[in-house]
A = this chain, B = another copy of it.
Amino acid sequence: MKPKLNDVAQLAGVSVTTVSRVINNHGYLSQQTKDKVFAAMHELHYQPNNMARSLQGKNTQLIGVIFSDIRNPFFGELVSRIEKLLFAKNYKVILCNSADDPQKERDYLQMLMANQVDGIIAGAHNLGIEEYQQYGLPIISFDRYLSDNIPIVSSDNYHGGYLAAQALHQAGAKDIAIFSGKNQPGSPTNGRLEGYKDYLKEKNLISHVHELPFELSPALKTMEIKSILKQAHYDGIFCSDDLNAMLTISVARQLNISVPEDLKVVGYDGTEIIRNYSPELTTIEQPLADISTLLVSLLLQRVADANCDLEKEYVLPVKLVKGITA
A-to-B contact residues, CB < 8 Å:
45, 47-52, 54-55, 60, 62, 65, 69-71, 73, 76-77, 79-80, 83-84, 87, 92-97, 99, 104, 107-108, 110-111, 113-116, 134-135, 218-219, 243, 246-247, 250, 272-273, 276-279
Question: Looking across the interface, which residue of chain B has its beta carbon closest to that of A94?
Answer: B92
B84 pairs with A115, CB closer than 8 A: no
- A243-B51 in contact (CB<8A): no
Given A50-B114, A50-B115, A246-B277, A80 and B69 contact (CB-CB distance below 8 Å)? yes
Bound state CA distance, A107 and B90, in angstroms? 10
Q: Name A107's closest neighbour in chain B (CB-CB).
A: B87
Q: Is the CB of A47 within 8 A of B218?
A: no
For A218, the chain B residues whose CB sits under 8 A away are 276-277
Question: Which of B71, B84, B278 interacts with A97 by CB under 8 Å?
Answer: B84
Q: How far is the CB of A123 from chain B (nearest CB, A)?
A: 14
Once bound together, how far apart are the Cα atoms of A61 and B152, in whole Å? Answer: 31
Complex formed: what's the CA distance from A137 to B29 in Å? 34
Residue of B nearest to A115 (CB): B50
How far does the alpha carbon of A134 sit from the alpha carbon of B243 in the complex, in Å?
44
Are B60 and A70 interface neighbours, CB within 8 A? Answer: no
* Distance between Cα atoms of A297 and B171 in the complex (Å): 53
A250–B110 Cα distance when bound, in Å, is 46
CB neighbours (8 Å) of A65 from chain B are 95
Among the listed B52, B79, B111, B113, which residue makes an inter-chain contact with A55, where contact means beta carbons less than 8 Å apart?
Answer: B52
Rounded to whole Å, the gap between the CB of A118 and the closest CB of chain B is 12
Report which residue of A71, A104, A246 has the largest number of chain B beta carbons within 10 angstroms of its beta carbon.
A71
A218 closest partner in B (C-beta): B276
Cβ-defined partner of A80 (8 Å) among B71, B135, B219: B71
Instruction: Give the chain B neighbours of A107 by CB distance below 8 A.
Output: 87
11 new A-B pairs (CB below 8 Å) besides A87-B104, A243-B277?
A45-B135, A50-B116, A70-B79, A70-B80, A71-B272, A84-B99, A87-B97, A93-B94, A94-B95, A219-B276, A246-B278
Nearest CB in chain B: distance from A13 CB, A: 24
| Shortest distance from the beta carbon of A120 to any chain B beta carbon, whole Å | 13
Choose among B80, B92, B277, B279 the residue that contacts A115 (Cβ–Cβ < 8 A): B92
B contact residues around A113 at 8 Å (CB): 47
Once the chains bind, are B51 and A55 in contact (CB under 8 Å)? Answer: yes
Distance between Cα atoms of A24 and B311 in the complex (Å): 43
Closest chain-B Cβ to A191's Cβ sits at a distance in Å of 25
Complex: chain B residue closest to A249, CB-CB: B277
In the assembled complex, the CB of A110 is this many whole angstroms from the nearest CB of chain B, namely 6
Within the complex, the shortest CB–CB distance from A218 to chain B, in Å, comes to 4
A92–B97 Cα gap in the complex (Å)?
Answer: 11
With both beta carbons as reference points, the residue of chain B lying nearest to A52 in the complex is identified as: B55
* Residues in B neighbouring A108, C-beta threshold 8 A: 87
> Residues of B contacting A104 with CB < 8 Å?
87
